[in-house]
Amino acid sequence: MDSGVPLCGSCAEPVVFSSADGEVSVACRGCEYPLCRACLEDEIRVGRELCLRCGTPYGEKPVEHDAAVGNGSNMAALLNNDKDNGGHVRNLSSMSTVESEANGENPLWKNRVASWKEKKNKKKDAARKNAKETQVPSEQQMDNKQLPEAEEPLSRTIPISPNKLTPYRAVIIMRLLVLGLFFHYRLTNPVDSAYGLWLTSVICEIWFAVSWVLDQFPKWSPINRETYIDRLSSRFEKDEINELSAVDFFVSTVDPMKEPPLITANTVLSILAVDYPVEKVSCYVSDDGSAMLTFESLAETAEFARKWVPFCKKYSIEPRAPEFYFSQKIDYLKDKVQPSFVKERRAMKRDYEEYKVRINALVAKAQKTPDEGWIMQDGTLWPGNNPRDHPGMIQVFLGHSGAHDIDGNELPRLVYVSREKRPGYQHHKKAGAMNALVRVSAVLTNASYILNLDCDHYVNNSKAVREAMCFMMDPKVGTDVCYVQFPQRFDGIDRSDRYANRNIVFFDVNMKGLDGIQGPVYVGTGCVFYRQALYGYGPPSLPNLPKASSRSNCCCCRSSKKDSRDQKEIYRDSLREDLNSAIFNLREIDNYDEYERSLLISQMSFEKTFGLSPVFIESTIMETGGVQSADPSTLIKEAIHVISCGYEEKTEWGKEIGWIYGSVTEDILTGFKMHCRGWRSIYCMPARSAFKGSAPINLSDRLHQVLRWALGSVEIFLSRHCPLWYGFGGGRLKWLQRLAYINTIVYPFTSLPLIAYCSLPAICLLTGKFIIPTLSNVASIWFLGLFISIILTSVLELRWSGVGVEDWWRNEQFWVIGGVSAHLFAVFQGFLKMLAGLDTNFTVTAKASDDGEFGELYAFKWTTLLIPPTTLLVVNLVGVVAGFSDALNSGYEAWGPLFGKVFFAMWVVLHLYPFLKGLMGRQNRTPTIVVLWSVLLASVFSLVWVKVDPFLSKVDASTVAQSCISIDC
């Protein structure tokens, strides 16, 4: 500026042309807005032909000018992270908070929003055009030539074979009809001698039937998908110009004692070594426990990554988490032809062992906290010594201005983040930490996509990100996709999977079914998000709301016009109430009057929604990502500001944008809100599992994990976001998708009828009564038809899904085990929280860190969750013994009715058998406290039963009384 040459308003570079006379140019004739040639060509290339400042069309050629223009200062200018464009980086926006916003008079902001809206409309038109092209009749498509490589789809949908799916659907309908006939018989044939038992059983069976409908019909249209990674690479990685979208990885951790730093470090190393351009990858680690152990272990990890990352990429190592790579029991020389591989592998293994020793030394040092608190290496006090009261902390370990690997190549960015914590503030646990990462990453890197992982879920397939990009970056598929969900896979589980840790039925059956409707639910990890969807924006294909009719000047028709307009306004308001923020309806701007429009596009409305950070606000309207400042220290200060504990106050964070608050299962709630806005999701199951985690394999930890999930579902059921009544206004959630979400929030309540139903066999054996009267031939047909339809449904489901019988049976067993324990406690805790305000502490599931295979499988940890299923086991076994004793005393006539009762009781015992084995512990001996509690409860139950016996009919009672009186004692 001292030389009189203006700087480009977009990239902050001098606008002197490269011609011999060095003339200065401006792009706009109206306001003399300075724009260099490169930026002007970029503006015209993307279809923006209007000046961002005054709206005047750009001239055919830049207008020559010899004076400095543009006295406004950009809030954001330049960041040196997009070097693949020849070092030229565009600043997409200029925003000034000094100018008045009350009347919406900020021209830069107004033009930026107008430009953004114009781009949205172009995307919407392109989506409609693609939709029309896909509707061409098949006979016309045969005449078309083969698509060029640039237009070939990056993925395809593979429907389930009709030979498998048609019989499956037919059996579902048949089972529904049989259920109707079955309940007609049950309701019209009560058991008078045991009316209470009969009524209880019928109520339970009706609830089970409703639960089956909610679970079954969302699986009506399952699909498979296939991706083409080679097409993705050939389309977006050509001629040394990489156009793949950037991805920000989020890793969350809380307690390094329960989530060992070595496990977290392996996850980080697998991310840094992922098969993706390094300049497009950033890894953010959220330490919500502000532990110096996590900080120091990341410093060691960053140093080790300088050796590990080039080794993985040189030899195409899979998986790229060193702990799991070196522990593989396979031939590691397979497909390796480089003579130096063996030597380098041995050296790398030695380096990793030394690295593990350093990490373990840090863990041993952290076992005992010094009285004065932790001291960092520079002698200063660690700011996070008090996990509940500390400032925000950010440390960039690796990045574009940081270290390179041992070969001199660039490494992905690695950032440590610990948000501010202060007493008196609600921090919202994991959901709050994830929202803090969203804001930090937007300020520092602002990638278009976000991939979040738990600290124990490492990248098992280095091409997993490319798999997701085959959907996200395909213009014919990804326009309305909010996230791509990968299935969860686990290491360290015994072959029999005693406690159904793999959860195969859910991930390989239910999620495939949802993929054929509106998309799978978000399960908390292994998910690639479109950042704009997290900000609450709707998809480009979202239909506009109906415009209100203009007021007529005719007196005779004014009343009817007014009524019609009021109805449309009510409909529009209902949709706006569902979405709950004007920012989400930006594409419906044409339907509002001038006052509403001015509020909608004003910077003040963005601040009310996203918070008081101009840098972050500007990033929210940059659909293709990119960052906005040349000074890294300024960015760090802004990043510290957006993770302050009071930043989210009076904003929409956690209400309508980001991870949604109000439940410990924030994942289900967040995905549900996106689907309600019209987005859809995709389920991606690559041949090699994308991510793998460590499952809690002992019984107590598994039950606590299920308790946390069930409690979150109960919290959603009791909140305003309950799928039973939320999101009907927009009509954007498909009804089968709504059934699936209803199923995810009501399944814990099945514990109540399940407890009652599992108690009925013991009661029948102890009292000699039964819940079913003597069967007729017709009734036998209905019962037999019901059992056959249940078996056929399961068999055909396993046939199209590929799930094994053992996995299905383990799932059925743990459904009963979890239902009578964790789900029951979740229901009571949820109602206690709602009625009495008693909150439940979030318990982090311990992750295995020892090298012993299945070392904790038989470890027993006492918890109150074990009492109900243990009591059911004892009561049913006592009932079986009592039933056989009674049959021996009563003669052969009693053996027939005994068969049905014993079969009923053994059904309960077989389902609880894995629980019984886990109860034995490592020494195959049940702990004394469990025996005492269970025997005590069973004894009290039996004594009360003998005293009261509510299921004994009045006739039987009088007969017994008279017979007792007649006895001469």
Over residues 678-696, the pLDDT tens digits come to: 899 999 999 999 999 887 7
Q: Specify the pLDDT at position 623.
A: 72
Residue 935 binned pLDDT confidence (cut-offs 50, 70, 90): low
Vertex 151, ends 150 and 157: CA angle to 5°? 125
Q: Specify the pLDDT at position 536.
A: 85
Q: Per-residue pLDDT for 522 more than 90?
A: yes
What residues form the annotated binding site? 252, 258-259, 288, 429-430, 454
Q: Which of 546, 618, 627, 680 is nearest to 116 (CA)?
A: 618
Q: Per-residue pLDDT for 554 more than 60?
A: no
Distance of CA 846 to the CA centre of its chain: 20
Q: Which of 754, 763, 761 is nearest to 821 (CA)?
A: 754
Q: Specify the pLDDT at position 552.
A: 37
The helix/strand/coil state of 855 is: coil
Q: Specify the pLDDT at position 672.
A: 93
Q: Specify the pLDDT at position 114.
A: 62
Vertex 855, ends 854 and 861: CA angle to 5°? 110
Q: Specify the pLDDT at position 850.
A: 44
Q: Per-residue pLDDT for 453 more than 70?
A: yes
Q: Per-residue pLDDT for 965 more than 70?
A: no
Encoded tokens for 372:
């004065």
Q: Specify the pLDDT at position 766.
A: 82
H-only helix segments in 718-821:
735-746, 751-767, 777-801, 805-819
Q: What is the pLDDT of residues 118-136, one digit of tens each?
A: 665 666 566 555 555 544 4
Lowest mean pLDDT among 16-25, 247-256, 263-272, 480-489: 16-25
Torsion of CA 104, 105, 106, 108, to 10 degrees: 100
What is the C-alpha radius of gyration for the chain, rounded to an integer number of angstroms? 32
Q: Specify the pLDDT at position 169.
A: 93
What is the rounded distance in angstroms from the CA atom of residue 509 to the CA atom of residue 366? 44
Percent share of the chain, pLDDT over 90 = 30
Q: Specify the pLDDT at position 13.
A: 61
Mean pLDDT (whole number) for 573-580: 44
Q: What is the pLDDT of residues 374-423, one digit of tens each?
A: 888 888 888 888 888 889 999 888 876 567 888 888 899 999 999 999 99
Q: Specify the pLDDT at position 256.
A: 87
Q: Per-residue pLDDT for 139 more than 50?
A: no
743 near 722, Cβ under 8 Å?
no
CATH match of 1-58 with 3.30.40: yes
Q: Specify the pLDDT at position 512.
A: 93
3-state secondary structure 894-935: HHHHHHHHHHHHHHHHHHCHHHHHHHCCCCCCCCHHHHHHHH
* 1 or 281: which leads in pLDDT: 281
* 86 or 886: which leads in pLDDT: 886
Q: Per-residue pLDDT for 56 more than 80?
A: no
Percent share of the chain, pLDDT over 70 = 68
Q: Specify the pLDDT at position 714.
A: 92
Q: Specify the pLDDT at position 695.
A: 78
Q: Specify the pLDDT at position 55.
A: 57
The helix/strand/coil state of 227 is: strand
Residue 18 binned pLDDT confidence (cut-offs 50, 70, 90): very low
433 near 286, Cβ under 8 Å?
yes
* 78 or 534: which leads in pLDDT: 534
What residues form the annotated binding site for UDP-alpha-D-glucose? 252, 258-259, 288, 429
Q: Per-residue pLDDT for 731 more than 60?
A: yes
Q: Per-residue pLDDT for 575 more than 60?
A: no
Task: Quote the mean pLDDT of the chain.
Answer: 76
Encoded tokens for 219:
């699986």
pTM here? 0.77
Residue 918 binned pLDDT confidence (cut-offs 50, 70, 90): confident
Residue 736 binned pLDDT confidence (cut-offs 50, 70, 90): very high
What residues form the annotated binding site for Mn(2+)? 430, 454
Mean pLDDT (whole number) for 837-860: 55
Please name the amino acid found at residue 420.
E
* 106 or 751: which leads in pLDDT: 751
Q: What is the b/e burial string over 300-312, where b = at least 16 CB atoms within 10 angstroms of the residue's CB?
A: bbbebbbbbbbbb
Q: Specify the pLDDT at position 9.
A: 56
Q: Where are the domains of the chain?
A: 1-58, 201-243+460-539+654-926, 246-459+612-646
519 near 218, Cβ under 8 Å?
no
* 257 or 20: which leads in pLDDT: 257
* 890 or 570: which leads in pLDDT: 890
Q: Specify the pLDDT at position 873.
A: 87
Mean pLDDT (whole number) for 151-172: 89
Beta-carbon contacts of 267 under 8 Å, excluding residues fewer than 6 positions away, are 251, 321, 453, 454, 455, 456, 457, 458, 459
Mean pLDDT (whole number) for 59-71: 36
Residue 555 binned pLDDT confidence (cut-offs 50, 70, 90): very low
Q: Specify the pLDDT at position 860.
A: 59
Residue 832 binned pLDDT confidence (cut-offs 50, 70, 90): confident
416 near 220, Cβ under 8 Å?
no
Q: Per-residue pLDDT for 64 more than 60?
A: no
* 40 or 544: which leads in pLDDT: 40
742 near 723, Cβ under 8 Å?
yes
* 626 or 503: which leads in pLDDT: 503
Mean pLDDT (whole number) for 480-485: 93
Q: Specify the pLDDT at position 624.
A: 73
Lowest mean pLDDT among 387-396, 585-594, 882-891: 585-594
Q: Specify the pLDDT at position 852.
A: 47
Q: Per-residue pLDDT for 615 more than 80?
A: yes
Lowest mean pLDDT among 365-369, 752-756, 828-832, 953-957: 953-957
Mean pLDDT (whole number) for 870-881: 85
Q: What is the pLDDT of residues 737-747, one digit of tens each?
A: 999 999 999 99
Where in the sequence numbering do the catalytic residues fall?
288, 667
